[in-house]
Structure 1
């Protein structure tokens, strides 16, 4: 069974005071849902270790912008710190993206790519993908899809053509503007 992840992260108890905004963006460079989770208060910070690097991804004042692009097999979560600076882009390879009760979701297909704000690129969870294949959780076609998508994204990042990373601050501002204009009404 693949893990389904929802854009609103409503089941995440670590975030005790949150703001959530979502919208469907239809522009030349991007079509799909975008969600923004602002973490006003958390039970405790969360840091991830990438080798010898410790990267904080959850803290009061942080926010996560998540992209659910139409027709793609990936979802991107951009972590912003309390100063609005990108900490990392976390790219989940996924089987599919959908919407349930007006909240976007994706079915995680194990492989992940992390792009740190330093530009360092990491491929994660290859062993989880192998295990899922061996245990019959996924079949050969999903295994191949995961690797094909990951390899295409890695090549695109290397060439500098994975432009969605550059769009994250713009999309964050679109959601924040939508939220502030809704509050004024």
Structure 2
């Protein structure tokens, strides 16, 4: 069974107090759901180590903006720090994106990930998890091959500066932060628990 991840992060115990909003956007550049999860209080910060470099990705005042593009097999989470600066883009390869009226937009994770740092550095993650999922028959050979195809295509697009979603994140972050998307007011939603 694939792990389903929600933009609302409704079950994330590390966060003591949060705000959340989501919106469906239709434009020539992007169609799908966008969610904004803001961390008002955290139990403890979350740091990741990439090639001997420690990067904080969750702390008080941080926000995660997540894109769930319709009909695509990836999701992009942009981490903003308390000063609203981009810390990283985290691209999950997924089997599909969807929406649930209870917990909002979701993706079924297919393990492979690409992390893009503001310096332009690209970090590849979780190849061994994809191999293990295939060996354990959690995913099919078709899912396995599709994940690698999507991973390679996205990496090439990023290297060739042909992945415009990374450039759109700041605009979408500003829109959701201000509560206005495509001229329509959107509210912060009550957090759903459990």
**Under a length normalisation based on structure 2, what TM-score does the superposition of the two structures give?**
0.91
Residue aligned with 2:168, SS: helix
The range that moved more, 101-110 or 75-84, is 101-110
Q: Deviation at 1:35?
A: 0.2
Q: Give deviations 1:96-130, integer Å, cap 9, x for gaps.
A: 11111150000000000000111100110000001
- 1:162, 1:53 → 2: CA distance? 25
C-alpha separation between the residues in 1 aligned to 2:111 and 2:172?
26
Identify the structure with the greater helix proportion: 1
* Corresponding residue of 1:145: 146
Contact 1:65 1:79 in 2 (8 A): yes
Q: Offset of 1:182 from its aligned partner?
A: 5.3
CA contact (8 A) 2:88 2:118 kept: yes
Deviation at 1:21, TM superposition (A): 0.8
Provide the rounded CA distance (Å) in 2 between the counterparts of 1:29 and 1:70: 12
Look up the match of 1:165.
166
Give the TM-score taking structure 1 as reference length: 0.95
- How many residues get paired? 183
Matches of residues 113-132 of structure 1 in structure 2 within 5 Å?
A: 113-132=114-133
**Unaligned residue ranges in structure 1 (runs of 5+):** none
